[in-house]
Amino acid sequence: MNEISILMHMLSNKTNLYQIGATKRDILHTLNVKNKNKSGYFQNLITNLSKYIEPLGLQIRYNPINSHWFISYDSDISDLISANPFDNKPRLAATLFCTLVICLKNHEGISPITEIEKIRKKKNILEDLKELEQKGYLEIEKDLNSIKLTPLIGYQLDIEKLFVKLALKIKE
């Protein structure tokens, strides 16, 4: 048992639907790292584990919503269709897309539902949002006025890649 094994365990550990992997602070605390150059040590750990698991078709990822590091299958070799939770549901995916853009624009990932309605330009948005809540992507506040993203979307979706794709699309 060494640091790499412990790190592998921490990054592949699923506490619940919204908490998979571990934060940098958790990892350094568990490994009892007290060096001055903690960040450099952490970077080395992540790089080394990444080299180990790459031949297995695995990659280390970061969830910007809850600052957790975790492991995902390499997108080049994994079945993207099965990874897509909105297969044949473009309407729901589009509502999630709009919600994501609005939430990430606002602080703390909270967004008024009226703002999503305004940009989505569709009726019965609340139904979509309720379905997204059932799937675990967001929480609707009791007063039905606003929603908050859960960390789940940060795990399942490569947000950075999405925004680069969006930026390139706009450039077209």
Partner 1 sequence: MIVNDITEVLNNRIRDIQKKILSGKVNLLDLELVPLFDELKDSLTVHNLEKSSETYKNACFLLNKKFDELRSMLSSLESEKQFLNYLNSNPSDLELYNLLNECWRKIFTIDAISLDFLELSQIRLGIDRGGPITIKHLHKAKIKDKFLLEIPKHKFTEKMMKFYNSILKKLPCSLEDIFEDYTEQEIIYENFVYLLHLLQLGKIKYLKETNVIYL
Site residues, partner 1 (CB under 8 A): 1, 3, 5-6, 9, 12-14, 20, 30-32, 58, 61, 70-73, 75, 78-80, 82-86, 90-91, 93-94, 96-98, 101, 105, 119, 121, 155-159, 161-167, 169-171
Three-class secondary structure of residue 138 per DSSP = strand
| Closer residue to partner 1 in complex, CB, 79/108 | 79
Smallest separation, CB 161 to partner 1 (Å): 5
| Closer residue to partner 1 in complex, CB, 142/170 | 170
Cα–Cα distance for residue pair 135/89, rounded to 1 Å? 13
Smallest separation, CB 20 to partner 1 (Å): 6
- The closest of 75, 77, 94, 78 to 86, measured between CA atoms, is 94
Smallest separation, CB 10 to partner 1 (Å): 8
| Closer residue to partner 1 in complex, CB, 76/143 | 76
Residue 144, token pair as written in the block: 């039905």
Q: Are 112 and 81 in contact (CB under 8 A)?
A: no
| Closer residue to partner 1 in complex, CB, 108/142 | 108
| Residue carrying structure tokens 């703002």 | 115
Q: Are 96 and 137 in contact (CB under 8 A)?
A: yes
CA atoms within 13 A on the CB side of 160: 6
Smallest separation, CB 142 to partner 1 (Å): 27
